[in-house]
């Protein structure tokens, strides 16, 4: 059994963060573990409050996991404070962690900010350069590259600029564009497009968390980066296709599509 660690925030409404990560890992055939960076009081309409853990307690969680069950991959999501970013980097380097997928979460689907500006600076300087792949959405790519993105050519410029500056592979996600949901990988000089038909479903809370956790699960199982992303995108499209409709805002996706028929709903 391959094991994946999620270092991320908890979403009380279950659609994003740690909760989305664990659901994704279980349905992608790996054993999921967690180190929680923050509790959020959150639902499909917004984030009411955030309580960060201390850097010391985050380090204790990461140590508890690595000293017992060395993860085959690590997914990193919401990290609000610069000190927490520094702690993660220090512990992952100490344990020589492999297959690090960073979703540089800045703003929730509902529009609430999830990371301070000083945190983004710290991520850029310390965390992103040690990642195997990072998965910014369009607004996050604009911040990291410092350019506006209006077209797929702009996505290529942004992904190349980020990847060349930080030395990591970059998956620039196209979910925030209006036409097809095409994602672009820039992997050390090479572009690969992952074409995705836009699914007519306004419930996209946690799609970024789901995609990055599925990529980490596939890397843990030994897939190369391109196949890990291709399979993760197929998984997310199927989860979106279920048309789950929960809550009063942008609701979560349905991870249980393979279990339909096994349990009554
Ligand atoms: N309506 C859609 N149909 C198909 N795929 C989609 C749709 N919306 C988003 N995606 C896909 O979902 C993944 C996440 O992309 P997105 O750009 O929404 O990330 P995000 O903004 O980080 O997500 P989050 O909502 O978790 O913050 C990408 O693979 C994107 O192409
Ligand atoms: C805890 C958490 N992590 C990530 C996101 C981004 O979707 C969110 N809304 N909440």
Per-residue pLDDT of the chain in tens (265 residues, 90 and over written 9): 999 999 999 999 999 999 999 999 999 999 999 999 999 999 999 999 999 999 999 999 999 999 999 999 999 999 999 999 999 999 999 999 999 999 999 987 777 788 888 999 999 999 999 999 999 999 999 999 999 999 999 999 999 999 999 999 999 999 888 888 999 999 989 999 999 999 999 999 999 999 999 999 999 999 999 999 999 999 999 999 999 999 999 999 999 888 777 777 7
Which residue reads 């890992």 in tokens?
A: 25
- Residue 196 counted as domain residue: yes
Does the predicted model carry a pTM greater than 0.95?
Answer: yes
CATH no. for residue 188? 3.40.1190.20
ipTM tops the 0.95 cut: yes
Residues linked to residue 184 through DSSP beta bridges, in sequence order: 172, 193
Q: 189 C-alpha to center of ligand 2: Å?
A: 30
Ligand 2, residue 9: give the atom nearest the CA.
1
Into how many domains does the chain fold? 1
- Residue 200 counted as domain residue: yes
- Residue 154 counted as domain residue: yes
- Residue 210 counted as domain residue: yes
Q: Look up 161 and say whether it is catalytic.
A: no
**DSSP codes, the chain:** --EEEEEEEEETTSSSHHHHHHHHHHHTTSEEEEEEEEEEEEETTEEEEEEEPPHHHHHHHHHHHHTTS--SEEEE----SHHHHHHHHHHHHHTT--SEEE----B-TTS-B-S-HHHHHHIIIIIGGG-SEE---HHHHHHHHTS---SHHHHHHHHHHHHHHH-SEEEE--TTSSS---EEEEETTEEEEE--PPPS-S--BTHHHHHHHHHHHHHHTT--HHHHHHHHHHHHHHHHHT----SSSS-B----GGGBTTB--
pLDDT of residue 177: 85
Q: Look up 116 and say whether it is catalytic.
A: no
- Residue 250 counted as domain residue: no
- Residue 83 counted as domain residue: yes
Pocket of ligand 1 (CB under 6 A): 16, 109, 137, 173-176, 181, 183, 196, 198-199, 201, 204-209, 211, 233, 236-237, 240
Residue of the nearest CA to atom 21 in ligand 1?
A: 137
Ligand 2 pocket test target in 7, 10, 12, 17 with most atoms within 8 Å of CB: 17
- Domain residues for the domain of 91 are 3-241
Residue of the nearest CA to atom 6 in ligand 2?
A: 108
pLDDT of residue 265: 74
- Residue 33 counted as domain residue: yes
Q: Look up 207 and say whether it is catalytic.
A: yes
- Residue 235 counted as domain residue: yes
Q: 135 C-alpha to center of ligand 1: Å?
A: 11
């Amino acid at each position: 059994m391959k094991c994946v660690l999620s270092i991320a925030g908890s979403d009380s409404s279950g659609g994003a963060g740690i909760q989305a990560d664990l659901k994704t890992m279980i349905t992608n055939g790996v054993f999921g573990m967690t180190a929680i960076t923050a509790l959020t009081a959150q639902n499909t309409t917004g984030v009411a409050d955030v309580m960060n853990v201390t850097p010391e307690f985050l380090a204790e969680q990461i140590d508890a996991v690595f000293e017992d069950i060395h993860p085959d991959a690590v997914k990193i999501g919401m990290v609000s404070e610069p000190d927490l970013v520094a702690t993660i980097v220090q512990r992952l380097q100490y344990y020589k962690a492999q297959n690090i997928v960073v979703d540089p979460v800045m703003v929730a689907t509902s529009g609430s900010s999830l990371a301070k500006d000083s945190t983004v600076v710290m991520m850029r300087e310390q965390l992103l350069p040690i990642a195997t792949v990072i998965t910014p959405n369009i607004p996050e790519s604009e911040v990291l590259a410092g350019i506006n993105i209006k077209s797929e050519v702009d996505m290529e410029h942004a992904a190349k600029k980020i990847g060349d500056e930080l030395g990591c592979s970059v998956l620039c996600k196209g979910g925030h564009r209006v036409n097809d949901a095409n994602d672009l990988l820039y992997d050390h000089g090479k572009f690969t497009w992952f074409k995705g038909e836009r699914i007519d479903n306004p419930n996209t809370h946690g799609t970024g968390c789901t995609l990055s956790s599925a990529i980490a699960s596939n890397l843990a199982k030994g897939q190369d980066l391109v196949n890990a992303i291709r399979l993760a995108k197929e998984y997310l499209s199927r989860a979106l296709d279920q048309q789950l409709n929960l809550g009063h805002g942008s609701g979560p996706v349905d991870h249980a599509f393979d279990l339909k028929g096994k349990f009554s709903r």
